[in-house]
Structure 1
Amino acid sequence: MIDPKTVAAIDVHVHAEVSCHDPEDPVMGKFFDAATSYFKAPRQRPTIQETIDYYRQQNMAFCLFTVDCEAGVGAKRIRNEEIAELARDNSDVVIPFASIDPHKGKLGAREARDLIENWGVKGFKFHPPMQDCSPADRMGYPIYEVIAEHKLPAIFHTGHSGMGTGLKGGGGIKLKYGQPILVDEVAVDFPDINFILAHPGWPWTDESLSMALHKANVFIDLSGWSPKYFPPQIIQYANTQLSHKMLFGSDFPLIRPDAWIEAAKKVGFKDEVLQAIIKDNAVKLLGL
């Protein structure tokens, strides 16, 4: 099990992009190509095991997930069970999250229950633009009901999406589904879920801040951007009313966690706030 006292940081936003068993899906590969150009990141993605080894070397714990967008873009997902198995074997650093396309409805709810009760999954990840649906679409509610029953957290992509950036028609990705306020209704309907709004949420950053101020069960992870590019209100609210609501996330492998932390030291976070962001807030939220 993860010992918060022994790790330097907890990264709540890490992607599993290459299975240890299956080849890269060619449809997803096109999105990886575009994201590589957008983030100026290496095209060669690490396997899940290589990701685990990297984070252990960094002395960091992390939440690991794939993105199930089989209905939205037609890309075959990495199996949630593979992530759960590797997390079980590397429980000193890995916190397994699962991803289930909301289009799977009640069948997805059955999968969610199995993953929680039999595979030890500790949270869920949703990417509405890639999944081609609003977070508040009722087809996803059976899945949310299972998550709420077990009082687990759920991460929702918000804001601009690097996935599809530069492709014709954005690769079919609709940015409107990344508007943070679309999660607001779900946060009302499921108060037992802690909702984590991923990324600064640009160009709707203020919506994320408003929701985190308004609702006790809404948090923000600061992944996907180097802190040197954060809108100034992120720093302002982190240092004041939302010091307990901000979480460290990198978006690895597109952004390295050590590079994120080094940049965060230079943008004006108070020392005690940065410590809370890097580890302490996640310890409380994840119940470590």
Structure 2
Amino acid sequence: MDHTRLEAIDVHVHIETDGRGNMSLPQAFLEASAKHFGADHRAPTLPEIADYYRRLNMGAVVFTVDIESATGHPALSNEEIATAAAEHADVLIPFASIDPAKGRAGARRFRKLVTEYGVRGLKFHPSIQDFAPNDGSAYPLLEVAQELGVPALFHTGQTGIGAGLPGGGGIKLGLSNPMLVDEVAVEFPDLTIILAHPSFPWQDEALAVANHKPNVHIDLSGWSPKYFPPQLVRYANSLLQDKVLFGSDYPLITPERWLRDFAQLDLKPHVRPKIIKDNAVRVLKLDQQEDK
């Protein structure tokens, strides 16, 4: 990926289908999420996502979510996603998702995904994977991520998945409190961590963790910037200007809409390019990849 020719890098893009009718989430979850976001449910294939971002002249971090243990729903293949992303390496950066319940076997698989398939990071969604980031279940995966120098991205805050279903579809919001990830940052001081989303209702907690732990960053996906809490904008414009990343949550929110609303925020001119691309280049080590 030649990041110098790209206008932006979106660090939060979901692969929801393998193109053969298999979906990343149960249908009830997909429908609830689409309703929550007020959007028609769309599930573009990976090649369609690549074509879309290529037209926008943007890079995109892509991943699925493995929730097999908690729900019994079969996960999409990380190997297939990584192989297909390699065919679109000018715009796509693959992350893996492995259910922490898969233990050491999952960690061995993740190592192979990084070393043999070119995967560049690890995605977690504690609420729908039904684990606490600090309970130790994900530590075998995180040990590999830290050793190999690839980031771990944790969903934080409320989720639209399961919203409105009886009992929220069994999803526990408290598992995505960013303070639980603070302990992960202590246990893995050399691991790069990304807190995904404005962390409602724990925005202040997320800002505190990112401000205190040098290895913790925040992506701004899942919300239109016009709804960002004022303290998030204030920190992004000052203390955390080097630790905040553009993310859309596509296909539920388009990068065009996100960037259009982002342009209306009162930010310093030199901060905007950091958030849109420069911080992601550093966090994802894109310069190092190109030097190899």
With normalisation by structure 2, the TM-score equals 0.96
Q: Residue in 1 aligned with 2:167?
A: 169
Q: Structure 1 counterpart of 2:175, which letter?
A: Y
Residues 199, 225 of structure 1: 8 Å contact kept: yes
SS of equivalent residue, structure 1 residue 20:
coil
Map 1:238-277; keep pairs closer than 5 Å. Answer: 238-277=236-275
Aligned partners of 2:55 and 2:27: how far apart in 1? 27
Residues 20, 49 of structure 1: 8 Å contact kept: no
Residue 113 (structure 2) aligned to one of 103, 112, 115: 115
Residues 73, 172 of structure 1: 8 Å contact kept: no
Aligned partners of 1:249 and 1:173: how far apart in 2? 23
Q: Structure 2 counterpart of 1:183, which letter?
A: V
Q: Residue in 2 aligned with 1:18?
A: 17
Residues 69, 77 of structure 1: 8 Å contact kept: yes
State the Cα distance separating 1:256 from its structure 2 match: 0.2
Q: Structure 2 counterpart of 1:14, which letter?
A: V
Residue 79 (1) aligns with residue 82 (2): no
State the Cα distance separating 1:28 from its structure 2 match: 1.6
Q: Residue in 2 aligned with 1:200?
A: 198
Aligned partners of 2:5 and 2:231: how far apart in 1? 32
Residue 235 (1) aligns with residue 214 (2): no
Aligned partners of 1:43 and 1:215: how far apart in 2? 37
Runs of 4+ in 1 over 2 A off after TM superposition: 20-25
State the Cα distance separating 1:133 from its structure 2 match: 0.7
SS of equivalent residue, structure 1 residue 114:
helix
State the Cα distance separating 1:76 from its structure 2 match: 1.4
Identity %: 52
> 1:119-142: per-residue Cα shift (whole Å, max 9, x none)?
110000000001001011212211
Q: Residue in 2 aligned with 1:179?
A: 177
Structure 2: unaligned runs, 5 residues or longer: 287-292
> 1:181-230: per-residue Cα shift (whole Å, max 9, x none)?
00011111111211000001010000110011101100000000000100
Aligned partners of 1:24 and 1:183: how far apart in 2? 28
Q: Structure 1 counterpart of 2:96, which letter?
A: A
Residues 80, 98 of structure 1: 8 Å contact kept: yes
> 1:236-268: per-residue Cα shift (whole Å, max 9, x none)?
001111100100000000000011011001021
> 1:25-73: per-residue Cα shift (whole Å, max 9, x none)?
6x62111100110101122321121111111111100100000111122
Aligned partners of 2:23 and 2:117: how far apart in 1? 24
Aligned partners of 2:4 and 2:157: how far apart in 1? 33
SS of equivalent residue, structure 2 residue 62:
strand
Question: What is the aligned residue count?
Answer: 286
SS of equivalent residue, structure 1 residue 277:
helix
Aligned partners of 1:217 and 1:166: how far apart in 2? 35
> 1:96-132: per-residue Cα shift (whole Å, max 9, x none)?
1000011111111111111011111000000000100
Q: Residue in 1 aligned with 2:92?
A: 94
Residue 32 (1) aligns with residue 30 (2): yes
Aligned partners of 1:38 and 1:130: how far apart in 2? 16
Aligned partners of 1:193 and 1:158: how far apart in 2? 17
State the Cα distance separating 1:22 from its structure 2 match: 4.3
Aligned partners of 1:47 and 1:168: how far apart in 2? 30
Q: Residue in 1 aligned with 2:128?
A: 130
Residues 16, 45 of structure 2: 8 Å contact kept: yes
SS of equivalent residue, structure 2 residue 39:
coil
